[in-house]
């Protein structure tokens, strides 16, 4: 069975989704907001789930008693439903093609920036990824609409030919991971 990751959760719930808890079949919605998942039950009172809570609860979901799981997280019922949904989306291919392509791009971006992201506080990481995504989009637009100026700009940014060659290799690896 696939073990969901925090990154999978943040990517999947970039768009709000409606789920139900396993035991009580209680409806709730979940959406990623910054570096957290925001869970909103039918009461309308949203509560955050952070990476540490999610990661601490995952190993207990199918192997621990209810008391141990509740001790690990007050949000255990929601985390259980989220993990079930994540497993279904991967195992059954229920993610729409556009969602899958976006998630693949997001994973590639996250992996490409993993070393740099470790230096950021956890709450700043989503902003760093959004900023990187924006500048990738700007770079692609310049490259497509103004290729001659894109070449000049790249030569300005990376004056050394070896460094530009290394960037080309990184770009090829990123494209392969994000698109293929």
For residue range 66-92, what is the model confidence (pLDDT) as tens digits?
566 565 677 888 999 999 999 888 654
pLDDT in tens, 128-147: 888 888 888 888 888 888 88
Domain definitions of the chain by residue range: 6-94, 98-179
pLDDT at 11 over 60: yes
Residue 118 burial by CB count (10 A; 0-12/13-18/19+): exposed, middle or buried?
Answer: exposed
| CATH number of 6-94, picked from 3.30.420, 2.60.40, 3.10.310, 3.30.920 | 3.30.920
Angle between helices 97-112 and 125-145 (to 10 degrees): 100
Average pLDDT over residues 112-141: 85
């Amino acid at each position: 069975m696939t073990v969901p990751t925090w990154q999978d959760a943040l990517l999947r719930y970039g768009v709000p989704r409606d789920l139900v808890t396993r035991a009580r079949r209680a409806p709730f919605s979940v959406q990623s907001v910054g570096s957290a998942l925001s869970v909103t039950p039918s009461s309308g009172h949203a509560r955050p789930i952070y990476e540490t809570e999610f990661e601490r609860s995952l190993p207990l979901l199918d192997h621990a008693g209810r008391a141990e799981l509740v001790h690990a997280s007050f949000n255990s019922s929601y985390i259980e439903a989220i993990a079930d949904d994540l497993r279904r989306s991967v195992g059954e291919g229920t993610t729409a093609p556009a969602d899958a392509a976006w998630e693949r791009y997001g994973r590639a971006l996250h992996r490409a920036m993993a070393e740099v992201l470790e230096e950021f506080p956890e709450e700043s990481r989503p902003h760093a990824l959004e900023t990187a995504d924006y500048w990738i989009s700007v770079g692609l637009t310049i490259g497509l609409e103004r290729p001659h100026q894109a070449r000049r700009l790249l030569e300005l940014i990376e004056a050394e030919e070896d460094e530009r060659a290394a960037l080309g290799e990184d770009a090829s690896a990123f494209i392969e991971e994000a698109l293929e």
